[in-house]
Amino acid sequence: AFYSMPIPLSIFNYETGLRQDVNDRYLDTFGYSRDELVGQSMHIKNIAVDQEQYMSAVAGLPTLDTLYDYPMQVQTKSGDIRDLLINGARLNKDNENLYITSYLDVTELNKKEADLIFQSELLEAVGQAVIATKPDGTIIYTNQAVEELYGWSKDEVMGKNIMDVTVPQMSMEQGKQIMENLSAGNAWFGEFLVQHKSGYTFPAEVNDVPLYNDAGELVAVIGVSQDISDRKHAENVLKASQERLQ
């Protein structure tokens, strides 16, 4: 059962530093053969990128009965760098001080996390208000510009329906039609009368775009809005001037 387990496993003696055994998934993950590892010093075939971190971790094992989600970067035989979470437990077999460790590869998850952080930072840097909702209108993300434009903090609106936050009563019917359009997977762009937290309304230019997952399912709607009060005022002044000249 040890050799066929679907996660990488390694057994080593933490006093001598010798690997006792590794399973097949360990070999597949790190690219070594069993002969290259078993019976060899972990210090010779050391896969850790940060040697100081590795030595510190090994030195601390005699005091630990279990090791839980210890993060470490490792290097495969081919040179790939992987992010791992290491879990382990002490074993006592034939009076040897052994430790069995498992390795969870979180490289892709960490990359996605980094991408999300980067995207979030980009959205925070955008001067326009960005609101992300579930298809039913439940707010799941807002940037800082939303608070500046609408007066609502992130904590105040998270989990609320966007119809209850930014849409005044006079725009409710149009808002429902827009949401139905978005729920059907159609983007929407146009001018829309929105409402500030304090109750006053103002015209906004809104661009709503549906977001799909890899399976083609609608998972969110990203809405970007900006106050166009000054533009509308300038348009009205120009229109009034033109009418007086006619």
Contact at 8 Å (CB) between 32 and 77?
yes
Give me the count of residues in the chain: 246
> What is the reported pTM?
0.52
Burial class (CB in 10 A: 0-12, 13-18, 19+), 131: buried
- CB of 89 closer than 8 Å to CB of 111: no
Separation between Cα atoms, residue 101 and residue 88, nearest integer Å: 4
The pLDDT tens digits along the chain (246 residues) read 789 988 999 998 888 888 899 999 999 999 999 999 998 887 666 678 887 887 788 778 778 888 888 898 988 999 999 999 989 898 877 778 888 999 988 888 777 766 656 666 666 666 789 898 998 999 998 988 899 999 999 999 999 999 999 999 999 999 999 988 888 888 999 999 999 999 999 999 999 998 888 788 888 898 999 999 998 888 888 777 777 776
The neighbour count for residue 12, using CB atoms within 10 Å, is 25
